[in-house]
Chain A
Amino acid sequence: MSLDVRRPLKLPYYQAMTNPETQPTKATPRGSLACVGLGMTLGSHLTPLARSHIAQADVVFAGLSDGIVEMWLQRMHPDVRSLQSYYQEGKSRLTTYRQWVELMMAEVRAGKRVCGVFYGHPGIFAWAPHKVIEAARAEGYAAHMEPGISAEDCLYADLGIDPGRFGCQHFEASQLLLFERRIDPTGYLVLWQVGLVGDRSLARFQTGPAYRQVLVELLSEHYPLDHEVIVYRAATLPIQQPGIRRVALRDLPNIELPAEETVILPPAETLKPNLAIQARLAALDAQEKAGMPA
């Protein structure tokens, strides 16, 4: 089956991939694909299995966040092709990502073992790796995603946040503005891509303070304006420290906010006991204690 990668699949957006990985058979075409994560920090996060996928590939495509990291990857393989040059101000990123998918699929169809290497985790906030795997599997090729250490993983370690403690919501910042989402101020709130919040074109690299002010006004419905928010950036080189700044919510539009930084809002309210459910569970406990399995 052929898949036109220029057009988005018309799956409901909440639906996960419908063609899961299967073991290759004699009928599986020769080309193959692996999308792997390089992690966030040079030298520290690359897994042995991801390194093996890179080493065993015929061609490697690189979607990385740091030029030095890309040079490091070039030492691991003689044919590393950067995807950077497909970005362009004013050009929809969707167009760029579809080009990436086509580039990788062309090599898979040519019978090559293709490895797409992406910074962090290849499946988190990354459109092309999911799509190219879906496209490859739809055409019968073996395709696999290998996880990497993500910016999200790093922020939990660097900020001492356990998402299980109060719960943790993650939103792409523009999506939070453009759609009616339910913010829960009793848990952590992590906002990604705040540096270009409000960009409806998918074609800008940055938006200005007025756009961030709209975000602050939305958040102020749930958080006091003096609520401390954390601005975070993971280290990409091992001689760097993670970037951690704390500012009041009201000041978010007025600070310099390089777009590679992530904004975290700690909980503003305490958890409220659900007394009705607790009473129901207590009744079930009492039932079991009386010898009647619930």
Chain B
Amino acid sequence: MTDTMDWLEAIGQDATLRHAPADELNSTLEAAEASEALMAAVASGDSSWLAQEFGKRVMHVTQSSQTFPEGDEPEREDEGEPLDPAEPQKGAASPKG
């Protein structure tokens, strides 16, 4: 049986599925016995249903620090911080291109 990740990849790669109305896409998914969470996400347009399968994880997406021209960045006390990662923090994300 195709799992939800396989379905997401398949939908992303198929022009008909990617742009199908939600009810048509769900008919296809139902016939293929896709997961309830995926069908609920498609029906509602709310991808947070997928957290039932994949868990909920807050991702930070800012990857830019170009507010200041290079060399003019504010000095920070954490400059010499070691490479140990911190625990993931909850918070908002911001976009890159």
Chain B residues whose C-beta falls within 8 Å of the C-beta of A124 in the assembled complex = 96-97
Interface size class of B (residues with CB under 8 A): 35 or more
**Which B-chain residue is minimally distant from A121 (CB atoms)?**
B97
B16 at the A interface (CB under 8 A): no
State whether A127 touches B76 (Cβ < 8 A): no
**Which A-chain residue is minimally distant from B6 (CB atoms)?**
A75
CA distance A200 to B68 in the complex (A): 9
State whether A8 touches B62 (Cβ < 8 A): no
How many A residues, CB 8 Å from partner? 73
State whether A86 touches B71 (Cβ < 8 A): no
Chain A residues whose C-beta falls within 8 Å of the C-beta of B8 in the assembled complex = 42-43, 68, 72, 237-239
State whether A241 touches B83 (Cβ < 8 A): no
A192 at the B interface (CB under 8 A): yes
Q: Which of A42, A196, A202 contacts B9 (CB 8 A)?
A: A42
Q: How far is the CB of A264 from chain B (nearest CB, A)?
A: 12
Q: Which of A127, A199, A233 has the most CB of B within 10 A?
A: A127
State whether A44 touches B93 (Cβ < 8 A): no
**Which A-chain residue is minimally distant from B66 (CB atoms)?**
A172
State whether B45 touches A241 (Cβ < 8 A): yes
State whether B95 touches A125 (Cβ < 8 A): yes
Give the interface segment out of A58-66, A135-143, A221-229. A58-66
CA distance A239 to B54 in the complex (A): 15
State whether B94 touches A205 (Cβ < 8 A): yes
CA distance A85 to B60 in the complex (A): 9
State whether B47 touches A239 (Cβ < 8 A): yes
Q: Which of B17, B69, B97 contacts A151 (CB 8 A)?
A: B97
A99 at the B interface (CB under 8 A): yes
A262 at the B interface (CB under 8 A): yes
Q: How far is the CB of A193 from chain B (nearest CB, A)?
A: 4
**Which B-chain residue is minimally distant from A258 (CB atoms)?**
B92
Chain A residues whose C-beta falls within 8 Å of the C-beta of B67 in the assembled complex = 172, 174-175, 178, 199-200, 202
CA distance A205 to B41 in the complex (A): 27
State whether B89 touches A43 (Cβ < 8 A): no
State whether A88 touches B5 (Cβ < 8 A): no
Q: How far is the CB of B82 from chain A (nearest CB, A)?
A: 9
Q: How far is the CB of B92 from chain A (nearest CB, A)?
A: 4
State whether A94 touches B11 (Cβ < 8 A): no
Binary contact readout B55-91 vs A (1 if CB under 8 angstroms, 0 otherwise):
1110111111111111111101011110101111101
Sample of 12 A–B contacts (CB below 8 Å): A42-B9, A65-B59, A87-B60, A87-B86, A88-B87, A91-B86, A127-B64, A150-B97, A175-B67, A175-B68, A202-B68, A259-B93
Given contacts A13-B69, A91-B76, 4 further A-B contacts (CB under 8 A): A67-B57, A91-B86, A99-B83, A237-B8
Binding site for B on A (CB under 8 A): 6, 8-11, 13, 41-44, 63-68, 70-72, 75, 84-89, 91-95, 97, 99, 102-103, 118-121, 124-128, 150-152, 172, 174-175, 178, 192-193, 195-196, 199-203, 205-206, 233, 237-241, 258-262
Binding site for A on B (CB under 8 A): 5, 8-13, 17-18, 25, 38, 41-42, 45, 47, 50, 54-57, 59-74, 76, 78-81, 83, 85-89, 91-97
